[in-house]
Amino acid sequence: MTPTDAQQRRRLLLAAAAGTLVTALGGTAVLAGDDPRAKERRPDGRPRLPPGQRLLSSLKPMGGEPGDPSAAAWRLRVHGEVERPFEVDFRELLALPQADLAVDVHCVTGWSCFDVKATGVLVRELAKKAGVKAAARHVIFEAAHGYTANVRLAEALRPGVMIAHRLHDRAISRSHGAPVRGLVPDLYFWKSAKWITGVRFVAKDEPGYWETRGYHNHADPWTEERYS
């Protein structure tokens, strides 16, 4: 690292600590600590910005092993503890009831992004179409290369949880999970599986990829359920 780079990094860190608006390394803007939205409350009374989080101006992709980004090749399987398992391709997904939402996203690494505009199909619509059985208690989001993330059924059926195919009125990029990704806004971001291929309803919980590697099984940002 050159002296110029070191000085720039130090200025950025000092500015962030002071709560001013800066541009972080890699081009993602870090919003000031005095941004009025950070002081807002949710309808449930919890602070809009969970503890230990900082605001970013745009959604970070957060890596992962990419799946096939082709919409033509994509399929979603809805199965498990359901009366009517089914599979849809990308065109059939677009024919299902669509939801346009603005949601807040929170990453376990300590950043949040407010008002992420997403378009897709709510998981509860998929559940309704499949006829979820009474035995179901959890949802397993299945993705490329065997990645899975587990979510309690009641939380997976919340209004903001969806299988999204657009972010901010644009087709999802490959780095964000093209052509389709899961979105579970009230839990830490690793629960929002990218390159999603299946939604499986199960009676018994099945901890997923990160949960079996030391991350918290539930992942509530407001109680900082980061690690088990």
Domains of the chain plus CATH, in order, are 62-99+116-223 (3.90.420.10)
User: What's the whole-number mean pLDDT along residues 170-196?
Assistant: 97
Choose among 137, 134, 96, 102: nearest CA to 118.
102
Statement: residue 86 has pLDDT above 90: yes
CA–CA–CA angle 35, 56, 212 (5° rounding): 130
Please state the pTM of the whole predicted model: 0.85
From CA 167, how far away is CA 113, in angstroms rounded?
13
From CA 77, how far away is CA 148, in angstroms rounded?
14
Q: Please report the pLDDT score of residue 31 as a whole number.
A: 55
Q: Please report the pLDDT score of residue 3 as a whole number.
A: 41
Statement: residue 5 has pLDDT above 60: no
Average pLDDT, the chain: 88
Choose among 19, 10, 218, 183: nearest CA to 101.
183
Is the model more confident about 4 or about 198?
198
CA–CA–CA angle 99, 41, 181 (5° rounding): 30
From CA 172, how far away is CA 194, in angstroms rounded?
10
User: What's the whole-number mean pLDDT along residues 10-36?
Assistant: 44
From CA 219, how far away is CA 225, in angstroms rounded?
5
Statement: residue 163 has pLDDT above 90: yes
How many of the other CB atoms lie within 10 Å of CB of 75?
Answer: 13
Question: Of all residues in the chain, what percent carry a pLDDT higher than 70?
Answer: 85
